[in-house]
Each structure stands twice: as C-alpha cells, then as structure tokens.
Amino acid sequence: MSAQAILDVQDLRVEIPLSRGTVHAVDGASFQLEPGESLGLVGESGCGKSMTLRAILGLLPQPGKIVGGQVLFEGEDLTAASQGRLRDVRGAGIGIIFQEPMTALNPVMRVGDQIAEGPMVHLGQSRSEARKRAFELMRQVGIPDPTRRAAAYPHELSGGMRQRVMIAIALACEPRLILCDEPTTALDVTIQDQILKLLHSLRTDFGVSVVFVTHDLAVVAQTCERIAVMYAGQVVETGTVDEVFRSPRHPYTLGLLRSVPRFDVVRQTLDSIAGQPPDLVVPPSGCRFHPRCPYAQDDCLEGAFPLRPLGAGSGRATACIHDDACVAAVASEPVIADV
C-alpha cells in the first residue's frame, strides 16, 4: 500500500448465495486511491462496479457478503470493522452519491432535514447549526432559494435538484472520500454536464478523493485522473486516463474504447465486443475474457491472471498476458482522436 493512499482495496471478494449457486460478484478486485485523486471505475453492467462500492461501505444487499480481501480506508480495514464503526465512517469519513436519488432520499422527510441529519449525528451540531449548514451546502451545490427549497419533499424537486441534494448530503460532514455510483445516469445531458462540472469544482475546492462508477467513458475523461477497468468481477487494467485511453493494454479495454463513436472517422456500423458477459455463478476458467477475446491463446484458458505492473511504481497494470497484441492493434489504428 502507498504510504499516502486514502483507499486501498486489496483482493476484494464478494459472494451472493442464490438457489442456483453462488454469484462471485466481486472476485479479487484491487485498486488504490491517493488523497485528492479521482478514480473512474468502469465496465459493462453487472461487472461488479456498484457491488464494490457497497462492499467498501458495508452496504451489501442481503444475502451478499465479503468473503475475502481488505478495504483499507486511511489504513483501517473496514472489512473487520463493527457495524457501529461503519456507521461512524459513513458520512463523516466517506460520503456516497447514489444513482437514483428518488429511491435514495426519504420521501416523507423534507430535504433540508435530510441534509442536516448528518451534521447533527456525526458532528454533534445543534438543530439550528445543522440547518444553517444545510442552507450553506444547498447554495454551494447550486440550489436556488435554499430556505424555500429546504422545506420541499423530494418529489417536489426536479431530477437535477434531487441529485444536488444528494451531493449536499454527501458533503455535509466534510468527508475525505466520496463514492459516486453513476450519479448522472438518469439525467438528461444538459443536467448531467452541470452535475459533472459541479462535482469537479467541489473536488477542487474541498480536496476530497472521489471514486466514480460509470459505464460512460466520456464521463471518465471529463472527471477522472485515473481509471480501473472491471470485467466479470475483476479489475483487469489500471492507469491514468490518458495512458489507458491512448494505449489500452487489455483486450476488454480495447473493445470498450473501439465501441465509442468517433467523429473523425466515418463508419457504417459501430464496433462491438462479441459475445455476452459470463455467468458469474459459473465463470469461465482462466482469463474471464477469453471466450470473447480476439487475441486469446491456449495459455489464456487455465490459471489465474492477476494484475501485472507495467513499470515500477507507475500504477499502470494489466491482467492480460498477451497485451502486446493490444499494442500492435493500436499502432495500426489509434483508438481515439483525443482524450
């Protein structure tokens, strides 16, 4: 672990027992986050991104459970923490912004009271102090007329306003780390752009670290400095956004980038990744991606494929043992025009 890392996820494993078998929802995921840094956690739906965030905070849906690995937050292993300790960490140390605020917010509680709840519980503020804090936060996240809006219920606000309330709640106790679980998915593009710019400015102003879960690579390019690519419950590539976007070193990452429309190239059809994501109850042996990989060889079919560093101390890593094929493919046709 880096001496400065605020979050260090090591070989995290999450299982969900079902009647037809056990889902290996997260299967050995590892990544780090430095103070003030923004990390994009990307991949197809069902790859384990959101489950990883919930495991960090101890909010796994039942009967899901962590069966291995560590989640070190400022050096403390949250997988070994009590429920009481996790409640202290949530909000005060780590804030979270959920994908759909209409289901995350309390529908029968005024939004001002929901924002003020954290400072009262975690910071010991009086009700009047917490309400002042709520009004201040509402102004900071761009909610006009906070005194009037604070008295509204969630259903009385627009989707963009509800998401701003969620951001205010996440910031209420001055956390050092914020987890964003696809916070702009349900918003139209103009509101999405406003929310992304707001998150960027807040990260710059407050110096918080951010993990941003998304399937949208354009969002990662706009908001993140580093990226971790997940496939079938595993992290298969890490690096800076510029490194990974310009020179992917895993065929799955290459496939994701090839599927993004380019405005400098005329094509009749978009590229896509062949096949379907694997069943995580019975995942493929060897490399999880080999049934869909155009570069798969016999030695990809068996064994474990952990992240392999690409350069000492750079944070650049891949789980592919034939990443030279990706290098050759990008050399013949660049992946993107610009990041």
DSSP secondary structure letters along 120-183: HHHS---HHHHHHHHHHHHHHTT-SSHHHHTT--GGGS-HHHHHHHHHHHHHTT--SEEEEEST
Distance of alpha carbon 63 from its chain centroid, rounded? 22
pLDDT > 90 fraction of the chain, expressed in percent and rounded: 70
CB 227 within 8 A of CB 220: yes
Query: Higher confidence at residue 91 or residue 66?
Result: 66
**Mean pLDDT value of segment 156-178:** 91
- Tokens 């020179």 correspond to 247
**Cα-based torsion angle of the residue sequence 272, 274, 280, 284 in order, rounded to the nearest 10 degrees:** -140
pLDDT exceeds 80 at position 269:
no
pLDDT exceeds 70 at position 81:
yes
**Mean pLDDT value of segment 204-214:** 89
Smallest Cα–Cα separation from 166: which of 318, 185, 148, 280? 185
Report H helices in the chain: 49-57, 83-92, 101-104, 111-122, 127-140, 146-149, 159-171, 189-206, 217-223, 241-246, 251-258, 324-332
pLDDT digits (tens, 9 = 90+) for 36-74: 999 999 999 889 999 999 999 999 999 999 999 999 999
Confidence class for position 268, pLDDT limits 50, 70, 90: low
Confidence class for position 117, pLDDT limits 50, 70, 90: very high
CB 118 within 8 A of CB 172: yes
Confidence class for position 200, pLDDT limits 50, 70, 90: confident
Instruction: Specify the pLDDT at position 99.
Output: 81
Beta bridge partners of 211: 39, 179
Burial of residue 225, with CB atoms counted within 10 A of its CB: 0-12 exposed, 13-18 middle, 19 or more buried: middle
Distance CA 292, CA 300 (A): 12
pLDDT exceeds 50 at position 156:
yes
> Considering the entire predicted model, what is its pTM?
0.91
**Structure token digits, residue 12:** 């995290």
| Poorest-pLDDT segment among 10-19, 23-32, 186-195, 289-298 | 186-195
Phi, psi of 162 (to 5 degrees): -65, -40
Distance CA 92, CA 191 (A): 28
Instruction: Specify the pLDDT at position 261.
Output: 76
Distance CA 184, CA 273 (A): 25
Distance CA 184, CA 219 (A): 9
**Mean pLDDT value of segment 141-162:** 92
Instruction: Specify the pLDDT at position 1.
Output: 46
Confidence class for position 2, pLDDT limits 50, 70, 90: low
**Mean pLDDT value of segment 12-38:** 94
Instruction: Specify the pLDDT at position 337.
Output: 52
Structural element, H or E, at residue 14: strand 7-18
pLDDT exceeds 90 at position 228:
yes
Average pLDDT, the chain: 90
**Structure token digits, residue 296:** 């798969």
pLDDT exceeds 70 at position 208:
yes
**Structure token digits, residue 274:** 């062949």
Residue 72's region, left for phi above 0, alpha for psi from -120 to 50, else beta, is beta
Distance of alpha carbon 3 from its chain centroid, rounded? 22
pLDDT digits (tens, 9 = 90+) for 277-307: 999 999 999 999 999 999 999 999 999 999 9
Beta bridge partners of 143: none
Distance CA 111, CA 164 (A): 11
CB 40 within 8 A of CB 241: yes
**Structure token digits, residue 236:** 């298969």
